Amino acid sequence: MRTFKVNKKYTHFAVSNATGKIIDAWEYKGLDKESIKYYTDMDLKANDHNPKDFKIIQKDKLIKKGINPMDWANWGNNSNS
């Protein structure tokens, strides 16, 4: 079985409001808040997700909430979102 590793450079994560699982992530170091919102919304829409169904959360804030974004157990495909 092939194991996958989460890119350690990711800074922002899309977390499903319905499941609490991460469905996507990006490396947006140095971008302003408005640009991050624009790019994440565009990317979520391109992947057939409604941006309103997700919260974009920074890596350090996820960790403070007790969610390790580097652990695949915290990820899900959330295709029904």
Q: Which of 78, 80, 81 is nearest to 23 (CA)?
A: 78
Given strand 12-16, what is the order of strands in its sheet? 22-26, 12-16, 54-58
Please state the rounded mean pLDDT for residues 9-35: 96
Cβ distance 13 to 62 under 8 Å?
A: yes
Residue range 33-72, pLDDT digits in tens: 999 999 999 999 999 999 999 999 999 999 999 999 999 9
**Coil, strand or helix at 50:** coil
| Dihedral pair phi/psi, residue 32, rounded to 5° | -75, 160
pTM of the model: 0.87
Pair of tokens at residue 19: 């499941």
**Coil, strand or helix at 10:** coil
Cβ distance 75 to 16 under 8 Å?
A: no
pLDDT recorded at residue 81: 38
